[in-house]
């Protein structure tokens, strides 16, 4: 009897061991497959490939906030792997751009074919997915698109097509018919066609959209590198005043971040702007290069001639078609990027005085514009 029990125990042990190892073999090849974001990316990519073709020949672009968005508290980085597996697009090929976004934003995928101008946008509906509980990879793949994505939009976004019915294009964008991100992603797709320098792509990814402001930051960076370069052990320090989109480009391109105290920010209200002397009204910021060891350095107030740019590029301040006119201006700015010094210029250069550091210009209670003699005291005194 005792022998029979030991034999049974031995058999049970083997069975347990066998079933355990069998389960091990049956585990998905890729553990990310258990992540719903991986399955969602797979589904969206599959749909895109059906509609637009694969990206192996370099004609497909994918834009996504995967890796940033953390809907439901779940990391979405795995979605990038699914996109590459299905479409063939990857960051290394320059046709998978990860766009900065807040953690609580919905995960999205935007696919664009440069060959046809067709695009497919899918924005996940996290609430619907969560309501259905934990779903397997296969189960998510078999679901209707409308049960996974809040927006699933197929649209030709070639400039010719968007411009053929401009009122309709503007109306759709204004009422956010395709979701909050669609218009800025469509603009980014147009940028990709132009084969941008990689540093400009990085600036745009961080800024999360393309606009004339961020492009002016790229122009400024080119100007600084060419006409205000560092030598020896010098470092930069930037005062972003007035602050606008350009400062995101400057932070990325020089790694002069606010957190690392490479940049300080001083916004100017409309009233403050009126306090600047006329020659400083187009100021884009105050830039310093200095050697922390010797304490010597130079400062430069640099301007951006927006009036001249608007004159050259066409649509002025009052745009008839806000999206289309902006897009045309953006494309124009990208195209003319080597002529940055037609728009960026020195307003004033100065030496740091003995004992001064760049930070002396942006301490509590100090107005750098006044210290630089570019503040119209009378203008301010007239204000109530």
For Zn ion, the binding residues (CB under 5 A) are 211, 213-214, 245
Give the number of residues written for the chain: 384
Closest to Zn ion by CB, 343 or 369: 343
Handedness of CA 99, 104, 105, 107 (dihedral sign): positive
Nearest approach in angstroms of CB 251 to Zn ion is: 13
Closest to Zn ion by CB, 81 or 208: 208
Nearest approach in angstroms of CB 155 to Zn ion is: 23
Nearest approach in angstroms of CB 333 to Zn ion is: 12
Closest to Zn ion by CB, 214 or 344: 214
Measured distance CA(306)–CA(343) in Å, rounded: 7
Nearest approach in angstroms of CB 267 to Zn ion is: 15
Closest to Zn ion by CB, 76 or 329: 329
Handedness of CA 101, 32, 80, 113 (dihedral sign): negative
Handedness of CA 7, 10, 16, 19 (dihedral sign): negative
Closest to Zn ion by CB, 137 or 182: 182
Nearest approach in angstroms of CB 161 to Zn ion is: 25
Closest to Zn ion by CB, 146 or 257: 257
Nearest approach in angstroms of CB 245 to Zn ion is: 3
Closest to Zn ion by CB, 216 or 241: 216
Nearest approach in angstroms of CB 101 to Zn ion is: 14
Written as six digits, the tokens of 97 are 């751009």
Nearest approach in angstroms of CB 82 to Zn ion is: 30
Closest to Zn ion by CB, 193 or 245: 245
Closest to Zn ion by CB, 96 or 203: 203
Query: In degrees to the nearest 10, what's the CA dihedral of 57, 60, 66, 67?
Result: 40
Nearest approach in angstroms of CB 211 to Zn ion is: 3
- The residue whose two tokens read 């009204």 is 281
Written as six digits, the tokens of 90 are 């990857």
- Name the residue among 205, 160, 175, 48 with its Cα closest to residue 113: 48
Handedness of CA 178, 181, 187, 191 (dihedral sign): negative
């Amino acid at each position: 009897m005792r022998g029979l029990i030991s034999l049974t125990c031995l058999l049970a042990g083997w069975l347990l061991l066998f079933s355990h190892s069998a389960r091990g073999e049956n585990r998905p090849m890729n553990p990310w497959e258990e992540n719903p974001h991986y399955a969602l990316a797979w589904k969206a990519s599959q749909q895109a490939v059906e509609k637009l073709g694969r990206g192996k020949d370099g004609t497909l672009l994918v834009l996504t906030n995967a890796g940033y968005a953390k809907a439901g508290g779940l990391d979405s980085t795995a979605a990038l792997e699914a996109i590459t597996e299905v479409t063939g697009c990857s960051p290394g090929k320059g046709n998978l751009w990860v766009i900065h976004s807040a953690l609580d934003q919905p995960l999205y995928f935007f696919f664009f074919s440069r060959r046809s101008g067709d695009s497919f946008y899918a924005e996940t509906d996290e609430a619907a997915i969560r309501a259905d509980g934990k779903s397997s990879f296969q189960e998510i793949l078999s679901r209707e698109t409308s049960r996974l994505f809040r927006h699933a939009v197929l649209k030709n976004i070639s400039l010719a097509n968007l411009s053929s019915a401009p009122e309709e294009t503007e109306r759709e964008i204004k009422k956010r018919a395709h979701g909050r991100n669609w218009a800025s992603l469509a603009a980014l797709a147009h940028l990709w066609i132009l084969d941008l320098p990689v540093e400009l792509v990085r600036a745009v990814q961080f800024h999360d959209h393309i606009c004339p402001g961020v492009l002016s930051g790229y122009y400024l960076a080119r100007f600084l590198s060419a006409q205000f370069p560092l030598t020896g052990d010098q470092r930069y320090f930037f005062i972003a005043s007035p602050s606008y989109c350009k400062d995101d480009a400057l932070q990325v391109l020089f790694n002069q971040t606010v957190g690392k105290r490479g940049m300080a920010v001083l916004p100017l209200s409309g009233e403050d702007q009126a306090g600047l002397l006329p020659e400083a009204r187009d100021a884009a910021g105050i830039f310093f290069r200095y050697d922390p060891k010797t304490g010597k350095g130079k400062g430069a107030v640099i301007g951006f001639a927006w009036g001249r740019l608007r004159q050259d590029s066409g649509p002025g301040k009052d745009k008839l078609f806000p999206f289309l006119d902006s897009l045309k201006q953006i494309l124009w700015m990208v195209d003319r990027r080597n002529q940055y010094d037609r728009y960026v210029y020195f307003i004033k250069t100065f030496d740091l005085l003995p004992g001064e550091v760049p930070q002396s210009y942006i301490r509590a209670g100090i107005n750098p514009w006044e210290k630089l003699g570019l503040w119209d005291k009378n203008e301010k005194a007239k204000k109530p």
